Structure 1
């Protein structure tokens, strides 16, 4: 028997007051150690799904499980969930509220009732992981947008979650900021955190994710990112375009430069390596 999903929704339905169902009968899984990209058009239910997974909303039907055990929505159950799953929203200004970076990052651990030594250790660890140790005493209102994004993620990391869910984490960042953030996420994954990223950027999803989940009007479709993001029928249903890497792979196969089983390029560097015959690591 396979291991239960780390976090899962089973038969979950949700509607906002006086509105139609946003999600209906949804089955959705987060598998430990797999980088998962969540994609879909505006209004497809991505934000609702993330809030259900993190306990911000409760399904009207169905259930949320952690390690196969149903989540209870009392204080004990929600504390257990929030030490397992942390959600970082798209706009860091919706999440930051304390006077300084250090105070903001310490808020979650303090609410867990941890002693001062443990809180300081978690804050130091989170600041180091996000490369913002030098900003510890900086007032949050004086931070750049990218610094505020990192501070919001550090606040989530200080809870030491097993799953980190990020809503459009690269939105609003310049190319250098995006690369630095992706490097940070790679470090978190190597340290054992399972990362879920909601994004509209199909090229980023193909490059970064192990698996892709596409929210469509007929339900969620999940599979290995290179396979799911090459399905033009699914992409069309989800209101998304074909990633350039998948289009390049089609062309390379048509020209006999890739076999049917070889992975296509996920980055421009990998494409250049294929084009020039240099050793490359497509899909790595």
Structure 2
């Protein structure tokens, strides 16, 4: 009998294996965490305040070093020396929650150019990367604007552009929509959509379960019991998990349950994840969300 060859799974871009971390003189924030970020995905990282989301992002980006366990990039353990961290940060970039903690140059263009310049790239390549990043975040017109004259939403997008100019394979963001009005959120999500279409993997820490359900492919939920990962709709329909992580039920999940309870939506039908989805369905009386 000829053995069947099982196709090998792709190696995650970045991965924590048995990772643990505690701040000085404090209890463990994370313990025994296994978490992999695969190419081409949109992942929402959710959990309660103080549950370890920001710490997890900083471990993945090399800003913090695992107290136990290890960090892998393309299957190889990351060395925390200059060469190892440079290699990591050309593949993985973190945008922190407050853009004022990240922006420091006099103008937007100068700030966005900082990372590529530090890589020692030729001036022409730096200019190209800056132009691409500004265009991707729809802030080309702000290239010469002093950073202190930007609105909060503009500062958010400028901070992300600085990370994008590094051309990372994985872009991680800590609460990127916090403090933005609805219009600002939509502009940011549109920019993230373009980045994903260009091949960037995006990991977003957020408290917004409705945003996670609408935007992400997968979810990673931190609770006192540990980290659980899986399809976003599946995890955000788990009441026990949401209670443990102190998260509310997403609007779309609640609506889908109501529709199913009334016999309007069966288990195999697509769920309306946003009010817009529901509005489309309500306007299509001839095509209810029930499979035959």
Would you say same fold, with TM above 0.5? yes
Unaligned regions of 5+ residues in structure 1, if any? none
Please name the residue that 2:29 is paired with: 22
Correspondent of 1:233 among 237, 240, 245: 240
Distance 1:158 1:189 in 2: 15
Asked if 1:249 is matched to 2:256, the reply is yes
Correspondent of 2:10 among 3, 9, 14: 3
Unaligned regions of 5+ residues in structure 2, if any? 1-7
The Cα shift of 1:280 comes to 9.2
The Cα shift of 1:60 comes to 1.1
The Cα shift of 1:267 comes to 1.2
Please name the residue that 2:5 is paired with: none
Distance 2:72 2:33 in 1: 13
Asked if 1:209 is matched to 2:211, the reply is no
Residues paired across the two proteins, number: 281
Correspondent of 1:259 among 255, 262, 266: 266
1:92–1:152: 8 Å Cα contact kept in structure 2?
yes
Please name the residue that 1:84 is paired with: 91
The Cα shift of 1:4 comes to 1.7
Q: Secondary structure at the match of 1:151?
A: helix
Shifted more, 95-104 versus 262-271: the winner is: 262-271
The Cα shift of 1:31 comes to 1.2
2:251–2:274: 8 Å Cα contact kept in structure 1?
no
Q: Secondary structure at the match of 1:8?
A: strand
2:61–2:89: 8 Å Cα contact kept in structure 1?
yes
Shifted more, 259-268 versus 216-225: the winner is: 259-268
Where does structure 1 differ by over 3 angstroms across 4 or more consecutive aligned residues? Answer: 278-281
Correspondent of 1:140 among 135, 143, 147: 147
Q: Secondary structure at the match of 1:207?
A: helix
2:136–2:195: 8 Å Cα contact kept in structure 1?
yes
TM-score by length of 2: 0.94
2:264–2:288: 8 Å Cα contact kept in structure 1?
no
Distance 1:276 1:225 in 2: 27
Correspondent of 1:118 among 121, 125, 131: 125
1:83–1:159: 8 Å Cα contact kept in structure 2?
yes
Distance 2:141 2:288 in 1: 37
1:86–1:163: 8 Å Cα contact kept in structure 2?
yes
Distance 2:9 2:122 in 1: 38
Please name the residue that 1:219 is paired with: 226
For 1:125-204, list aligned pairs within 5 A: 125-204=132-211
Please name the residue that 2:76 is paired with: 69
The Cα shift of 1:67 comes to 1.4
CA deviation vs aligned residue, 1:248-272 (integer Å, no higher than 9, x gap): 0001111111111222111111111
Distance 2:273 2:39 in 1: 23
1:207–1:267: 8 Å Cα contact kept in structure 2?
yes
Q: Secondary structure at the match of 1:96?
A: coil
Q: Secondary structure at the match of 1:189?
A: helix
The Cα shift of 1:138 comes to 0.5
Q: Secondary structure at the match of 1:87?
A: strand
Shifted more, 195-204 versus 65-74: the winner is: 65-74
1:40–1:240: 8 Å Cα contact kept in structure 2?
yes
